[in-house]
Structure 1
């Protein structure tokens, strides 16, 4: 059959919402995956963007086609469409529209939801409206039905918490509880390279991309290839990484530069540095008062300080001070104003854009007033630049830690007090390891979550290009995986800060040794589910791992259960809301009057 050229508009709309869903995925789920590394100060936001882009695309292109096939064919059976390609195109377009709209609204309001379960729920709702309740695959369906997928809603966070807690307890016993933890941290670091290399290579070789054909190899080949890759990476780290980090952490040699890792074991022979000349490693402690904070941000006023200094208990003055205390929203607004004032001082495009917006406010009256039209034309280029670059300059740490004195700040202070603080040199060692685990987690996310967008888009494209609904069973084209993985990265770069600022340290106390355990636990869980073609929420996995590591402090008070409860509520609410939106959209378009 020829192309369905009469449905070009449906294909165009479906493509738009597939790109929007991928963008939201990056702004929501990928941002959550990298929030742990940024929160722990192991990596800057900009460095996370670069590495996130690389490893997202690698995971999506090499492994991502598997979960895409589940969303394409596992929820609504192809036979239910009775070879009606146009209805199939419309169904998946409505599912994408419902899911992407819901996730976009939640991301805008910094509400963290699962883009995976949003799309799956929307597809189920569309299936009910299109082919009826009985045709939707509610059962297990060989691991591809809704029963199997929603089983992961409870299984994934619990499994991830177990993996994350196990890894951190191993670090705690082997490194943190030793008398000389710095050396143990340095010389055991290759173990994490072994784990990361083995997991990534296993995901590619064992049931990886069908185009590679590696899944047809014998078991001995798979085992030797994956373990050999991990062992090779561990050997390279022992030869080049260990000597470099030994000089940085044990010797604290300020003359050692990053490129000197190529010297390998020769770095051990460098002369010792006197104590007075030793460098100081960065401070990884999470504090409420960031460098960005000011007295006004902490809710202090001149009257407040006067009463403190004079020790006056005059009731009238106390009432005046309470009246002048800033509300939580006012303190947040002042913090944002301070950030914007700093950005206006920069010389690059971002500084120009912020100055332009500040110097050209919209005037009185409606937008169609002449002076407002002129002002809007001046502001438009600056608004575009800000939209593209604002996330790269956002102060994640100031936004995450909360503002001291507010209910949120007090709650986080109580959580931090119940978390044991470890040696700063040890945490510095694990800051390098955490970059590796973050890249592994990003690879895992690309392998799993790319199916959210590319599965429906592959159905739409296949039905439109062939005119045959059954053709949607064909493998996902490589170019579609590449385009959507790039779109995911754009979402992370431009809008991911909205999710990062409410994750990370607002669940439990973060540090590099804790963060690498969380990321590795989440990555193992995501890749495990990917191998069985089960789309699972990366957000749920990293949240479960974060809670599991937080509980390793030995008390439930080390976890912010209010934040965890809000996350769980948003996950559960997503299912009926996304399903209803998708079903209503499909019912309206499918049963609208025809002329």
Structure 2
């Protein structure tokens, strides 16, 4: 029997499952890719493309294991006593509470864990539905709240440990050498081996149950895993290593990235005689790098001083007094400075060519008229503004200047704080960092794959339960599997959230915590990926955000100074994580209490 009388619950649950996946991408995935974008190993647009591909692969191949934990491990199925409608409502309300909280936090650039938001909401809904005694507060074979919340403390610490060990290994092997460039180039294939092995192991050893790979014998698993990792190592040695050697060691500026397939042919390639330095980007992060307005103000004050000095003495004194009064009168607050910075960014986009520039100019030149929205002229204006509004929503994130937002604004407390953090970090040669920029692409993709494997369960678990109950008319069975198509659909929504709304989180992460560079970023992402995959293999949902944040702090401490980490930002992150648990849980419990006691359900 199909529950047609509960079609509206299914529609609402599906809508908020999509919204939860969207928020997951805008919050958690954006945090993961902020490391790569901050290090300038990839551009924001490249991160969107790679994030989409590897989030999708991780979700489809590995994601169903963690989905079962959230769906069946917190509220026992038998607690609903065969009431399919109540079960559908329970998981729908959990999605509503979690997605609403995460959306609000993302809008205000507050980084929270979508994993723990949903878990807390499910627990709150469980208390309101079946009572506190029925909720699995303990370990419950690794699937209860006790096991899940244990990751709240363990995951950042473990991830920080993995990342710091990896970075210290790079530091000892490469950075501490008298001539680190050859060491960086010739050791690069090893990191391709590590990333490929981790990614392959996660698929083969604990892959999707539909693939049946976990039932293979141990020798088969070891052979496939080591064979894949070794194959990537050989390919990197034959093709990527000669490319790096020609570009960095031999300083051949004519070598382009698309020449990598030439491989061994690049080994004895003639070097241009005018190649004095390797043609590599500058990876240094400078606080005032983008502050053109600051430099303009400085030059303007010099010009005014020169003009004042040409005046007579009495006039100079009067001019000086007027300038002091003007400076005190026009003292800008922190919010005003940030508003000016945002307005400057928008002016730049307004002047740009392409669909986004057109859409922003159209919205600026065609505002809503006076009066109510239902008036005819406003209805017509709203219809005309709808296409450019959609264009802005889809493309604004692609054009957001992440580096300007992360480096801070001069004259603000945040800007001064970041100057101190950057000064406490040791800077390494651009040639060395350029080597690790390629490796960071691999580690970033591995981290994104790990996120798709782990965090897809946030949305697909409740949605799978809602769909199964709606389509069969019976409460979801404890051992029900999650269809691959559901994993694929929500993986797409995760990627949409990353592309369109992720800039809200990226602009406050990355270099806002500690100084980033490709070698540091590779260590952070690899350490976080290892931690997420380990937790995922034991069906324990863990926050990818917490893992990458713990890895960032761990690598920052490898500078040997506490001042190399922005502890204020870390403290704000911890506060947001902790507040997520009671807020999401209370919101879910209160909403469920209201709906469960409505006449339709209580009768």
Does structure 1 residue 400 correspond to structure 2 residue 406? yes
- Counterpart pick for 1:347 among 348, 353, 358: 353
Kindly state the Cα deviation for residue 246 of structure 1 after the two structures are TM-superposed: 1.3
Aligned to 1:306: 304
Kept in 2, the 8 Å contact 1:507–1:561? The answer is yes
Kindly state the Cα deviation for residue 324 of structure 1 after the two structures are TM-superposed: 1.8
SS at match of 2:292: coil
Query: What is the alpha-carbon distance in structure 2 between the residues aligned to residue 168 and residue 339 of structure 1?
Result: 35
Aligned to 1:159: 158
- Counterpart pick for 1:566 among 552, 565, 572: 572
Does structure 1 residue 376 correspond to structure 2 residue 375? no
**C-alpha distance 301-133 of structure 1, shift in aligned 2 (>3 A):** farther
Matches within 5 A, 1:87-486: 87-276=86-275, 278=277, 280-291=279-290, 293-295=291-293, 302=300, 306=304, 317-471=323-477, 473-486=479-492
Query: What is the alpha-carbon distance in structure 2 between the residues aligned to residue 366 and residue 173 of structure 1?
Result: 67
- Counterpart pick for 2:581 among 561, 568, 575: 575
Aligned to 1:36: 35
Query: What is the alpha-carbon distance in structure 2 between the residues aligned to residue 4 and residue 185 of structure 1?
Result: 62
Aligned to 2:70: 71
Deviates more, 1:377-386 or 1:194-203: 377-386
**C-alpha distance 321-237 of structure 1, shift in aligned 2 (>3 A):** same
**C-alpha distance 306-165 of structure 1, shift in aligned 2 (>3 A):** same
Aligned to 2:527: 521
Kindly state the Cα deviation for residue 196 of structure 1 after the two structures are TM-superposed: 0.7
CA deviation map 1:449-477 (0-9, x unaligned) = 00000000000011111111143631100
Kindly state the Cα deviation for residue 130 of structure 1 after the two structures are TM-superposed: 0.4
Query: What is the alpha-carbon distance in structure 1 between the residues aligned to residue 299 and residue 572 of structure 2?
Result: 33
Query: What is the alpha-carbon distance in structure 2 between the residues aligned to residue 549 and residue 296 of structure 1?
Result: 31
Kindly state the Cα deviation for residue 290 of structure 1 after the two structures are TM-superposed: 3.3
Deviates more, 1:22-31 or 1:225-234: 225-234
- Counterpart pick for 1:553 among 559, 564, 569: 559
Aligned to 2:549: 543
**C-alpha distance 151-327 of structure 1, shift in aligned 2 (>3 A):** same
Kept in 1, the 8 Å contact 2:26–2:499? The answer is yes
Query: What is the alpha-carbon distance in structure 1 between the residues aligned to residue 386 and residue 570 of structure 2?
Result: 39
Kindly state the Cα deviation for residue 332 of structure 1 after the two structures are TM-superposed: 2.1
Query: What is the alpha-carbon distance in structure 2 between the residues aligned to residue 554 and residue 498 of structure 1?
Result: 31
Kept in 1, the 8 Å contact 2:253–2:275? The answer is no
SS at match of 1:356: helix
SS at match of 2:396: helix
Could you list the runs of 5+ residues in structure 1 that have no partner in the other structure? Answer: none
Kept in 2, the 8 Å contact 1:304–1:321? The answer is no
CA deviation map 1:360-401 (0-9, x unaligned) = 233444434554444333322111100011000000000111
Kept in 2, the 8 Å contact 1:463–1:472? The answer is no
**C-alpha distance 173-279 of structure 1, shift in aligned 2 (>3 A):** closer
Kept in 2, the 8 Å contact 1:94–1:585? The answer is yes
Kindly state the Cα deviation for residue 235 of structure 1 after the two structures are TM-superposed: 1.0
Q: For this pair of structures, how many residues does the alignment match?
A: 593
Query: What is the alpha-carbon distance in structure 1 between the residues aligned to residue 299 and residue 92 of structure 2?
Result: 54
Query: What is the alpha-carbon distance in structure 2 between the residues aligned to residue 479 and residue 87 of structure 1?
Result: 25
Could you list the runs of 5+ residues in structure 2 that have no partner in the other structure? Answer: 310-315
**C-alpha distance 290-380 of structure 1, shift in aligned 2 (>3 A):** farther
CA deviation map 1:429-455 (0-9, x unaligned) = 111110110000000000000000000
Kept in 2, the 8 Å contact 1:402–1:412? The answer is yes
Given the two structures, how large is their TM-score scaled by the length of structure 1? 0.96
Deviates more, 1:6-15 or 1:373-382: 373-382
Kindly state the Cα deviation for residue 150 of structure 1 after the two structures are TM-superposed: 0.2
Query: What is the alpha-carbon distance in structure 2 between the residues aligned to residue 275 and residue 147 of structure 1?
Result: 64
Alpha carbon RMSD of aligned pairs, Å?
A: 1.9
Query: What is the alpha-carbon distance in structure 1 between the residues aligned to residue 398 and residue 447 of structure 2?
Result: 21
Kindly state the Cα deviation for residue 221 of structure 1 after the two structures are TM-superposed: 1.8
Kept in 2, the 8 Å contact 1:130–1:586? The answer is yes
Kindly state the Cα deviation for residue 245 of structure 1 after the two structures are TM-superposed: 1.3
Kindly state the Cα deviation for residue 212 of structure 1 after the two structures are TM-superposed: 1.0
Given the two structures, how large is their TM-score scaled by the length of structure 2? 0.95
Kept in 2, the 8 Å contact 1:459–1:472? The answer is no
